[in-house]
Amino acid sequence: MTFHRAYNFCAGPATIPEVVLERVREELLNWKGRGSSFMEISHRSTDFLKLVFEPARENLKKLLNIPEDYHILFITTGTSHQFAMVPLNFLNLKPHKSADYLHTGVWSGKAINEAKRYGNINVALSTENNQFTKMCSPNELKLDSNASYLHYTPNETIHGFQFHTIPETHNVPIIADMSSEILSRPIEVSRYGMIYAGTQKNIGPSGLTIAIIHKNMAGFANALTPTLYQYQTYIDSGSLYHTPNTFGIYMAGCIFEWLLNLGGISEIAKINQRKSQKLYDAIDHSSFYRNPVQKEFRSQMNVIYYLPTVELDQLFVKEAQNNHLINLKGHKSIGGIRASIYNAMPEKGVDVLIEFMQEFERKYG
Ligand SMILES: *Cc1c(COP(=O)(O)O)cnc(C)c1O
């Protein structure tokens, strides 16, 4: 049987660059001639610290141009843990102990529901009444200048909705869940109080979250916060208070090296721009496919679209799969098709998808 690696459009855990997987396979049994894999060594050993952990942190810093006054933390959790960690650690930043949240999709909604358990949460805007497809007008934005922070989700993975500018908060620190867009385009880290991202979209396998926190934000955790939910614990121990996800950190490091070899964020951003542009063009130039998101807020990472009927959506997913274009089914909450085209999706994969879409339209349109 011949082996055929498909183009995988899964929203997460998502496709990983083939060259990175080959490197992992190469190194798996006998890492750097040590006679064991990188998974079988102590997280406190010089080998792990000097050859895996520190290079990963340094390369992330280089890729995102992270200034010196930020902590870079590796936290062994899924992203959703942050929905509790953020309010527990930062609501106390100001005397009002309140925070502003933007509700622009499922993920920001989950962050809001969790944060409400810990304090006064002001939903400064919600686009729920238009099914998270459009931004509301600026005068509907109800920001509180006494808020401890503002939380938002720059890229809503399920609705394919992405901010292309940073909200203006007038000195209220901004906290962003960048899980499904980190490393896809340049960001100005200094505009944020904190950035967090789970790794399973753009940085490798699941089970690891990266947090980038401004130094002035640390040390305000609510007194009852469990040790492992306090960012300070990770800051004080260099993210090594307990055994971290060493495999996840190793993989993240491989992805960072892959990106640096490619030319860094500015290069991948150009590719991502091209990939998403040609896919949206293909959708817009057809009356068979339809994307409901306001043009200025369309996601470069998660492109959603609908065919004329639910039956055609289903047939599309099935026939695509037979053509090695896999995991195109939209999220169950909104249906349709979702093509997640993260960093690791080659431009060729998008070209093949577009050809398939045109073929499908000729057949059934
Ligand atoms: C995938 C995703 C999450 C959830 O990640 P888990 O690791 O499953 O908790 C949260 N936020 C965003 C924006 C995501 O894309």
CATH code, domain carrying 285: 3.90.1150.10
Residues 225 and 339 in one domain: no
Query: Looking at ligand 1, which atom is closest to the CA of residue 178?
Result: 13
The rounded Å distance from CA 84 to ligand 1 centre is 13
Can you tell me the distance from the alpha carbon of 312 to that of 331, in angstroms, rounded to the nearest whole number? 16
Mean pLDDT of the chain: 96
The residue among 262, 295, 312 that closes a domain is: 262
| Ligand 1 binding pocket includes 169 (Cβ within 6 Å) | no
Of 66, 61, 57, 121, the closest CA to residue 88 belongs to 121
| Ligand 1 binding pocket includes 157 (Cβ within 6 Å) | yes
| Ligand 1 binding pocket includes 107 (Cβ within 6 Å) | yes
Strands of 105-233, DSSP E: 120-126, 150-152, 155-156, 161-162, 174-177, 194-198, 209-214
Residues 247 and 335 in one domain: no
Q: Would you give the DSSP letter of residue 222?
A: -
What's the average model confidence in pLDDT over 178-194?
98
Query: Which residue in the list 107, 275, 313, 329 is annotated as catalytic?
Result: 107
Domain count, the chain: 2
In the predicted model, is pLDDT for residue 2 greater than 70?
no
Query: Looking at ligand 1, which atom is closest to the CA of residue 207?
Result: 7
Predicted TM-score (pTM) of the model is 0.97
In this predicted model, what pLDDT tens digit does every residue of 88-122 receive, in sequence order?
999 999 999 999 999 999 999 999 999 999 999 99
Query: Looking at ligand 1, which atom is closest to the CA of residue 209?
Result: 7
Say whether 177 is catalytic: yes
Q: Would you give the DSSP letter of residue 143?
A: -
In this predicted model, what pLDDT tens digit does every residue of 123-157 receive, in sequence order?
999 999 999 999 988 888 999 999 999 999 999 99
Residues 255 and 163 in one domain: yes
What's the average model confidence in pLDDT over 220-248?
96
The residue among 262, 277, 295 that closes a domain is: 262
Residues 69 and 217 in one domain: yes
Beta carbons within 8 Å of 130's beta carbon, 6+ residues apart? none
Which protein residue has the closest C-alpha to ligand 1 atom 5?
Answer: 79
In the predicted model, is pLDDT for residue 1 greater than 60?
no
Which protein residue has the closest C-alpha to ligand 1 atom 7?
Answer: 78
57: left (phi over 0), alpha (psi -120 to 50) or beta: alpha
The rounded Å distance from CA 302 to ligand 1 centre is 13
What's the average model confidence in pLDDT over 224-240?
97
Residues 258 and 168 in one domain: yes
Query: Looking at ligand 1, which atom is closest to the CA of residue 80?
Result: 9
In this predicted model, what pLDDT tens digit does every residue of 12-33 receive, in sequence order?
999 999 999 999 999 999 999 9
Beta carbons within 8 Å of 262's beta carbon, 6+ residues apart? 268
User: Which residue range is the domain that position 244 belongs to?
Assistant: 25-262
The rounded Å distance from CA 331 to ligand 1 centre is 13
In the predicted model, is pLDDT for residue 204 greater than 60?
yes
Query: Which residue in the list 94, 177, 275, 313 is annotated as catalytic?
Result: 177
Residues 228 and 284 in one domain: no
The percentage of residues in the chain with a pLDDT greater than 70, rounded to a whole number, is 99
| Ligand 1 binding pocket includes 179 (Cβ within 6 Å) | yes
User: Residue 36 maps to which CATH number?
Assistant: 3.40.640.10
The rounded Å distance from CA 140 to ligand 1 centre is 27
| Ligand 1 binding pocket includes 299 (Cβ within 6 Å) | no
Contact in structure between 43 and 202 (CB atoms under 8 Å): no
pLDDT category at 4 given cuts 50, 70, 90 is confident
The residue among 221, 237, 262 that closes a domain is: 262
pLDDT category at 3 given cuts 50, 70, 90 is low
What's the average model confidence in pLDDT over 194-216?
97
Which protein residue has the closest C-alpha to ligand 1 atom 2?
Answer: 179
270 domain-assigned: yes
Query: Which residue in the list 201, 275, 313, 329 is annotated as catalytic?
Result: 201
pLDDT at 139: 83
In this predicted model, what pLDDT tens digit does every residue of 61-86 receive, in sequence order?
999 999 999 999 999 999 999 999 99
Beta carbons within 8 Å of 346's beta carbon, 6+ residues apart? 7
Which protein residue has the closest C-alpha to ligand 1 atom 12?
Answer: 179
